[in-house]
Amino acid sequence: MTDDFEKLAGKLPPAPSSEARARALAAAMEAYDAVAENSGAAQGSAPSVRPSSIFNRIWSPIMNRKLLAGSALATLIVVPGAAFLTLELAGNNPKSTHETEIAAKTEPKPAAPEAQGAASLARSHPAQAAAKIAEQVESEAPAAAEADAMASRMATDTAAPMSTLGGTVGFAAQGRMEIMPAPTTPADNLPPPVENRERFGNADANPVKSVASEPVSTFSADVDTASYSFVRRSLMAGEMPNRDAVRVEEMVNYFPYDWPRPTSTAEPFKATVTVTPTPWNAGTRLMHVAIKGYEVVPAEAPKANLVFLIDVSGSMDEPDKLPLLKNAFRLLVDKLKPEDTVSIVTYAGNAGTVLEPTVVKDKAKILAAIETLTPGGSTAGAAGIDAAYQLAEKARVKGGVNRILLATDGDFNVGPSSDEELKRLVEEKRKSGIFLSVLGFGRGNYNDALMQAIAQNGNGVATYIDTLAEAQKTLVEEAGSSLFPIAKDVKLQVEFNPAAIAEYRLIGYETRALKREDFNNDRIDAGDIGSGHSVTAIYEVTPKGSPAVLNDDLRYATAEKPEAKVAAVGHSGELAYLKIRYKKPDSDKSELITTPVTEANAVPSLAEASADVQFSTAVAAFGQKLAGNTAISGYSYTAIADLAAGAKGADPFAYRAEFVNMVRLAKGISGAEE
């Protein structure tokens, strides 16, 4: 007997006889039929579910490979597999207590020990079971008459018991064969990895520019805030944000500031400039340019026609996407006036209208429509945008606000999907006076680059909602600035005086840069400012003669035009000259506001500046540090947190306190010593 085992140990598995194959397959079918007869659902019970994918992954390769038919392992593999099939079918057919008691009286006898062992292994460690069977099936099985005879003799000598499903009990069940550890799980048995498809459209940080060669800086106003809340979410999750997700101007403009404001609509906004020392570079100064928009009294707010364009594709099936989105829109509906109008369009594989234009006084109908939203399908974003514009046109309010609110994770994968195609679509539609804003949700599919492009070309605002508190801030507390524009195509241009300023760099606004000639071209689109909105831009400037100057003097500066020298002398007391162009919401012709910047705008120390100036400086420093800007590398997280903490002021909604906490989190996550 022992000699037989030793001889067999050195041989490959023999081919089975046709009788063995037939016996094994018959056993499998018998087991299947036995379960099918006893697993039928009682009348009124839920239908049984299909066999699990675990079984399919194990059984299909066995039955589909011709190799099995030529292997003596068929009996050892198929018989336990049949037992496992029995357990799987039974386990996937939930029964009530009463049904279980009835079934217990009619169920077939339990499988033999080797079948129970195989089923137990497959149930507790399916990956190991699958791998082990695959390993056995892949082995070569040359025909060996001697081995076949030896196996038959061993079966007789050891009096191997017959299992209830037919065939002999395997060696493992008799304690004669050690079950080896399973090899590495095959790739096709593992769940697919979660793909991170987030895309960001940021650009390299603005460089230091020489006033002698490039004295004029031009950019579009930006009131978006998506970057800040995305950065916050990353830090709260214990990870540093993607550097491309950091747009410093959006972080600075996230916060409300008490900049001086205009007193009437005749002056849509007021500009305030403050010059302070730079906390991270003793050789430079910071020039704050702050704009505060006129705030419309709620009673005077124009009638609103809003279309909720909601992404209900399969990618929105996460708690921080569609469920959060629905709650956000419920908050907004509560904020609207009874005479305002709401429509709802959804898109997945195609677009559909969920709610025709409905006045807000019929709030219950609107809320019920929001409640019906469920996720599923692909993402036909372009079709949804087309349908939304049609509804907005249908309910257009003359002299009022006509706006689409696109709520999505940014995953457009059906129809026109390139940034340029969708930009052209939205740009064409905005000419009709219907604007589009974007509310971003979720992680993994978030397409920040596309959201920015759509919002900018749709004369709208791009925000990112990561919590219900953020929805409250964006759609309730700041509803006026988000929905009611007081000026459109707002452009800023700063000309620096070369007699006073040697160099400058604009902090942020990389994606909002304009050409110098764009400033006076009314056909060039720019950002919009809403009711009560504030826009803050910060320049780091290097005074003439400072040791911090980076660029050498021009060799051929004597070629400078004489009239330029005369102009510089005539404005020798100025540091710079600020110009702002804007259009009223119902006009296509721009108007101009100018403000000279002199030493009268300067304060001797940052500590003597207003709390708003100090706090915005801290936010700008933090954004640059997160983005990896080397200009700020010597300024520590601790210094930023201390500066912000000392400038929190009243902070009624605790936004500034939250920011201080974020800086401290970033310090800990980054491992920085200071």
Residues 328-336: what's their mean pLDDT?
95
Weakest-pLDDT range from 77-86, 166-175, 496-505, 602-611: 166-175
Give residue 179's pLDDT band: very low, low, confident or very high (50, 70, 90).
very low
Q: Report the percent of the chain where pLDDT is more than 70.
A: 66
Q: Which long-range contacts (CB under 8 A, 24 or more apart) does 119-128 make?
A: 119/80, 119/83, 119/84, 119/86, 119/87, 121/179, 122/54, 122/55, 122/58, 122/84, 123/84, 123/87, 125/182, 126/54, 126/57, 126/58, 127/182, 127/185, 127/189, 128/181, 128/182
Query: Contact at 8 Å (CB) between 226 and 603?
Result: no
Residues 560-587: what's their mean pLDDT?
76
Query: Contact at 8 Å (CB) between 485 and 248?
Result: no
Q: Which two tokens stand for residue 407?
A: 């709520």
Walk me through the domains of the chain, giving residue ranges and CATH numbers: 2-189 (no CATH), 209-296+486-551+561-670 (2.60.40.1230), 299-483 (3.40.50.410)
pLDDT at 633 over 60: yes
Report the distance separating Cα 593 and Cα 542, nearest Å. Answer: 25
pLDDT of residue 77: 46
DSSP 558: G
Give the residue carrying structure tokens 């209208």: 353
Give residue 134's pLDDT band: very low, low, confident or very high (50, 70, 90).
very low
Report the distance separating Cα 279 and Cα 643, nearest Å. Answer: 10
Top pLDDT among 108 and 365 is at 365
pLDDT at 335 over 80: yes
Give the residue carrying structure tokens 């007869």: 37
Burial environment of residue 323 by CB neighbours within 10 A (0 to 12, 13 to 18, 19 or more): middle
Burial environment of residue 624 by CB neighbours within 10 A (0 to 12, 13 to 18, 19 or more): buried
Q: What is the per-residue pLDDT across 240-285, written as a single tens digit (0 to 9) for each? A: 999 999 999 999 999 999 999 887 778 888 999 999 999 999 999 9
Q: What is the per-residue pLDDT across 19-48, written as a single tens digit (0 to 9) for each? A: 666 676 666 666 655 554 554 443 333 444
Residues 553-577: what's their mean pLDDT?
69
Residues 151-160: what's their mean pLDDT?
45
Closest CA to 487 of 670, 636, 291, 673: 291
pLDDT at 105 over 60: no
DSSP 171: T
Residue 468's φ and ψ, nearest 5 degrees, are: -70, -30
For strand 401-408 and strand 304-311, is the pairing parallel, antiparallel, or unpaired?
parallel
pLDDT at 505 over 50: yes
Query: Contact at 8 Å (CB) between 501 and 576?
Result: yes
The mean pLDDT of the chain is 77
pLDDT at 326 over 90: yes
* Predicted TM-score (pTM) above 0.75: no
Closest CA to 320 of 407, 214, 228: 407
pLDDT of residue 14: 58
Q: Which two tokens stand for residue 419?
A: 């940034």
Give the residue carrying structure tokens 């699990």: 52
DSSP 582-627: EE-TT-SS-EEEEEEEEGGGB-SSGGGS-HHHHHHHHHHHHHHHHT
pLDDT at 78 over 60: no
DSSP 516: G
Report CA Rg, the chain: 36
What are the residue ranges of helices labelled H in 490-610?
562-570
pLDDT of residue 195: 56
Query: Contact at 8 Å (CB) between 419 and 457?
Result: no
DSSP 204: P
pLDDT at 515 over 50: yes
DSSP 199: B
Residue 411's identity, in one-letter code, is: D
Closest CA to 456 of 432, 409, 422, 486: 422
